Structure formats: C-alpha cells, structure tokens
Amino acid sequence: MKKVLVLEDESSIRSFIVINLTRAGYEVVEAETGETALELLRANPDTKVALLDIMLPGIDGFEVCRRIRATNTKIGIIMLTARTQEMDKVTGLMTGADDYVTKPFSPAELTARVDALFRRAGGEESPVTGEIDQPPFLLNTHNRTLEKNGERIKLTQVEYSIMRVFMENPGKALSREEILDRVWGRDYFGELKIVDVNIRRLRLKIEDNVQNPTYITTVWGFGYKWGL
Ligand code: CA
C-alpha cells in the first residue's frame, strides 16, 4: 500500500490534500498536531512519505522533521510552507526534509512531488547488486548505503540517489537540471533550489571541511562535480 502521512492543522487544506492524494491512489494517514503525527508514524511504520506543515500548535513542523529523521532516514519528507521565506529556515536548519511545496499549490503539483519521493523511498529502481569503490568512499548499490573510511554515513533516500549519480560520473560537471532529472525524475517540476539544499546537507555529512568542499565541488553558474 502506498501510505502517506499528512500533518496539517488547517482542516480545509488537509481535506484538499487528502482528497487529491486519495484520488492519486495513496492511503492517507491524517494528523492535526506534530505529536499525533509522530504517534501515527510509530503505528504505521510502512509510511513512505510525510507531508509536514510548519506552523502548528504545539511542536512545529521542523521539530517533527528532526524527530522523524533521528530514527528514520528512509521516509521521504516534504515540508508545506506558507511563504518562500520559510524555505530559508528549512535551508538554515537543515532539518532533513527532502523537498518543500509552497502554498497555495495545485493538485498536480502536490501529487507530482509525492510521486517523485515515493519512487525514491519505495525503491522502484531495479535492484542492482554491486559496489562503487572510490576511496575513502564505498557506495553499496544493493543495500543503498554509503561508507567513508569504513564508517557508515546515514543518508536519506534522496541524498543516496545524488551520491550515486555523482559516483557514477566521477570528474564530470553535472548541471543542476541533470541532477534534478536523474534524482527526482523527468516528470518532476519542482525548483532547482531543492538540488542545492540537498547538496548542502550532503556536504555536511561527507566533506572533511564544509567551508572548503573537496569531494562535491561547485561549478559556478552550472552545477556540481564529484571529484576525488
Ligand atoms: Ca498551519
């Protein structure tokens, strides 16, 4: 079952999301508060994607995101933001969300975002057994894990997919559009900024010195390059 959790305190927006995701074939678990959402996720461990509103009574969406990520790196997380300014907070706090949707959003935009993350989390990719060994990094494409100097680095599904694109293309400058296409899918029509946000977070996890990244380097005005 394609199970999605929706955390939104405004009932009209929540109903709008539930109706549209149900129509798109998802089973939707609804929560009005962050505390309830965390309980429902514990009760529904097969939930693949969570949509989290930010402004809530009680704990806010960022805190819910942090608490989910503390124990679950697999689930796809989309923040529902009221203004673009809130995205800067997401960027700043690096709470572990994979994507964000700015209100008001259309049903098509919403389902496209959820579909894209569901494909990531659900592992629709053909399971290829193998390893990409580029010391100090070792990517296991069967278990979808990354090690640096033999130590496991916890990655979200999106972060893993980005690493895989990089490690399959060492030394090649990849445009942000190409990364977006390869990681989120060609039918995805989100913003390029989400690539930067995820790469910024990925750098925090894999670089020796985030101020001076040497593994994922920026190709100004174009994109990024994986270079060892
Ligand atoms: Ca709200």
- Residue 57: the pLDDT is 93
140-169 pLDDT per residue, tens: 988 899 999 999 999 998 999 999 999 988
CB neighbour class for 198 (10 Å; exposed up to 12, middle 13-18, buried from 19): buried
What distance in angstroms lies between residue 224's CA and the mean position of ligand 1's atoms?
A: 35
- Residue 8: the pLDDT is 97
Task: Give residue for tokens 């496991």.
Answer: 152
Confidence class for position 126, pLDDT limits 50, 70, 90: very low
What integer is the mean pLDDT of 72-92? 75
* Calpha distance 208→221 (Å, rounded): 24
Instruction: Specify the pTM.
Output: 0.63
Of 66-80, 116-130, 166-180, the one with minimum mean pLDDT is: 116-130
What distance in angstroms lies between residue 7's CA and the mean position of ligand 1's atoms?
A: 9
What distance in angstroms lies between residue 10's CA and the mean position of ligand 1's atoms?
A: 6
What distance in angstroms lies between residue 176's CA and the mean position of ligand 1's atoms?
A: 31
CB neighbour class for 1 (10 Å; exposed up to 12, middle 13-18, buried from 19): exposed
- Residue 185: the pLDDT is 81
